[in-house]
Amino acid sequence: MKVFLSFFLIFIVLLIIPEFSYASVESSMLALQQKLLGTILPLLSVLALLFSGLAYLTGSPNARSYLGAAITGAVLSFGAESIVTLIRSIVH
């Protein structure tokens, strides 16, 4: 129990004091945003388009709805960075 408590306290100190963790919260959130918008969302949208296209080719009865959702998701995920920039410019 003491070991868990000591690790928990060290973790809290590292989160509270950015100098110890060598990063601020803002830079960490920007890095997370860049990873999500630049890598993960486009990859997921391409996989969804692949899945829906294969479902359409195999004659699945729900293939048209899959394809519509995949195209909508691809438009949103590839345009997510522009949407975030637009919202930031409106807020500031």
Is the CB of residue 71 less than 8 Å from the CB of residue 49?
yes
Looking at residue 65, its pLDDT comes to 93
CA dihedral (72, 77, 81, 85) in degrees, to 10, reads 40
Q: What is the tens place of the pLDDT at every residue in 14-72? A: 666 655 556 677 777 777 778 888 888 888 889 999 999 999 999 989 999 999 999 99
Looking at residue 52, its pLDDT comes to 93
Sequence ranges of the domains in the chain: 25-91
Does the model's pTM come out above 0.75? no
